[in-house]
């Protein structure tokens, strides 16, 4: 129970990586606040945590709305751990990404992270410190085809991580990011079903093979890295991005 007596806020925790993070942190002893735009999804995750003996609360919030985020965080009160996992994806290049889609990606992936940092950092300062992990991506390190807006947003997350780590180190606030490659989440299954009907298995194997290790990551693998980064065992780590990519960045040629 390495996170006992810690209060952890996880955004986008109603599904995918965020859900895995919420479950893993709760199992490690943290009291988890499951933040998601979808209240029913958040309630379901809370039910899974409490059934397993953990402590959790569902918080319905649109992270792109600063007043909503600040109000939610102030109600939570104490924040020892913040994991910014809420995010949306988009497929397109600079010339075929329309303004509405660009703004949507920016609002959630960039402004959403900023809003949560804006709300949480003062609470951490008041409490004597805290730990933040932001969800970046390998897209913030290397060019990915047809991921213009998404790459923009994750590059911003990486930059915000470094800035926060620098600015608040004297407040005993650590800030790191993780950069996954492809992770097998419900989003991937939905994407394949929508775009490759009848060829889901073939395309899944093709996408998996783009990573040198030969498969996609499991959400729990990302969550376990985050569990380490927010624990006291990682107390000397700040201002660092951790690729968790099956060798994608270094072994692809």
Pairing of strands 81-84, 7-11: parallel
Q: Do 151 and 140 touch, CB atoms closer than 8 A?
A: yes
Q: Do 143 and 93 touch, CB atoms closer than 8 A?
A: no
Helix (H) or strand (E) holding 174: strand 173-180
Backbone angles phi, psi at 86, to 5 degrees: -60, 135
Separation between Cα atoms, residue 89 and residue 153, nearest integer Å: 10
Give catalytic residue positions.
150
Separation between Cα atoms, residue 235 and residue 8, nearest integer Å: 16
Give the CA-trace dihedral at 77, 34, 60, 134, to 10 degrees.
80
Backbone angles phi, psi at 68, to 5 degrees: -65, -45
């Amino acid at each position: 129970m390495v996170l006992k007596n810690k209060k952890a806020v996880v955004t986008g925790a109603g599904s995918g990586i965020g859900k895995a993070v919420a479950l893993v942190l709760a199992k490690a002893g943290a009291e988890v606040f499951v933040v998601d735009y979808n209240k029913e999804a958040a309630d379901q995750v809370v039910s899974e945590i409490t059934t397993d003996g953990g402590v959790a609360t569902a918080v319905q919030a649109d992270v792109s709305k600063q007043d909503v985020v600040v109000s939610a965080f102030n109600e939570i009160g104490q924040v020892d751990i913040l994991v910014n996992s809420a995010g949306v994806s988009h497929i397109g290049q600079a010339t075929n990404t329309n303004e509405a889609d660009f703004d949507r990606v920016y609002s959630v992936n960039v402004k959403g992270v900023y809003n949560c940092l804006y709300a949480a950092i003062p609470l951490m300062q008041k409490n004597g410190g805290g730990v933040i992990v932001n969800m970046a991506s390998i897209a913030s390190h290397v060019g990915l085809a047809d991921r213009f807006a998404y790459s923009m947003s994750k590059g911003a997350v990486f930059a915000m991580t470094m800035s926060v780590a620098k600015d608040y180190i004297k407040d005993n606030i650590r800030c790191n990011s993780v950069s996954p490659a492809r992770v097998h989440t419900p989003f991937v299954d939905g994407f394949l079903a929508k775009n490759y009907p009848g060829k889901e298995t073939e395309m899944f194997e093709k996408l998996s093979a783009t990573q040198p290790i030969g498969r996609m990551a499991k959400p729990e693998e990302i969550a376990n890295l985050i569990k380490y980064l927010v624990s006291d065992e990682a107390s000397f780590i700040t201002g660092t991005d951790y690729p968790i990519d099956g060798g994608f960045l270094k072994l692809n040629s």
